[in-house]
Amino acid sequence: MNLLKPNPLHKGDTIAIIAPSGAVEFEPIMRAKKYFENMGYRVKLGKNIFASERYLAGDDSKRAEDLHCAFADEEVKAIVCARGGYGAIRLIKLIDFEIIRSNPKIFCGYSDVTALSAMFLKHADLITYSSPMAASDFSCLAPNHLTEKSFFKVLSGENDFYMSKDTYIEGKAEGITFGGNLSTLVSLCGIDFIPDEGFIFFAEDVNEPVYKLDKMLNQLINIKKFRKNIQGIAFGEFTGVDDDKWLQELLIETANILNVPAYGGFKFTHAEEKQTLPYGAYALLDGGLSVY
């Protein structure tokens, strides 16, 4: 795989904020815009960012238009998604992956945006970023310090280090980073989305009962290519679960079924404090996770 790594972000660069998923409100977006401007960046808002169609940020064609325009715009150096929610998977059939491949640039988001990161990696060879988002994380007066520090550190081209809290199976593993929000990732089952080379699987979720997490992990385990190419596991946080004991039993069980080095408690999460992780970059898992 000939991976495309975007150029680092510098002060004075232009950031585009788009909403490929759920509908957004005016005030949080404007606060996020002001935040990035105060940090020394120029900001462009997607033309259709305040559109609304049921629970979506406008109909599929409008959201796809903003996505394509942000990638094609030569002034834009980074694209930060507004929020998650739902809707990214509806865009896949409309995306021109050649536009993405021909204009490799920083693309940021988590939660529902996982669907786009996975598909950009698979079909455009683009390294993206599992990271905080504009309305979700940067619309408050004082963003979480670790979240903010990791975001700008990684986007500026420096490497961060990711600490684990739990050990399920000791060992070392190498591969590209792949995964993200578990419930969004499994919504891609049935299409071609799993990397063709070895990967370190990272996963997180929010407000899902353990039996649903069990179902989703087994959806992936049942895919031959997933079992073949997984080299290690870096479990993030599964916040809002109904039973912490059941969750730990499930994570241990999953690690044992896949029989790869597995660690947990990474700051990949829906919680306020989160780290930015390059999605599709080569990494070493050895207790902690190092991207290189």
Cβ count within 10 A of residue 163? 12
Coil, helix or strand at residue 253: helix
Q: For residue 143, what are the contacts with CB-CB under 8 A and spacing of at least 6?
A: 35, 132, 137
Contact 253, 263 (CB under 8 A): no
SS3 labels along 167-231: EEECCCEEEEEEEEEHHHHHCCECECCCCCCCEEEEEEEECCCHHHHHHHHHHHHCCHHHHHHEE
Q: For residue 74, what are the contacts with CB-CB under 8 A and spacing of at least 6?
A: none
Query: What is the chain's length?
Result: 292
Q: For residue 287, what are the contacts with CB-CB under 8 A and spacing of at least 6?
A: 164, 167, 170, 263
In the chain, the amino acid numbered 250 is L
In the chain, the amino acid numbered 243 is D
Cβ count within 10 A of residue 161? 10
* Active site (catalytic) residues: 111, 204, 270
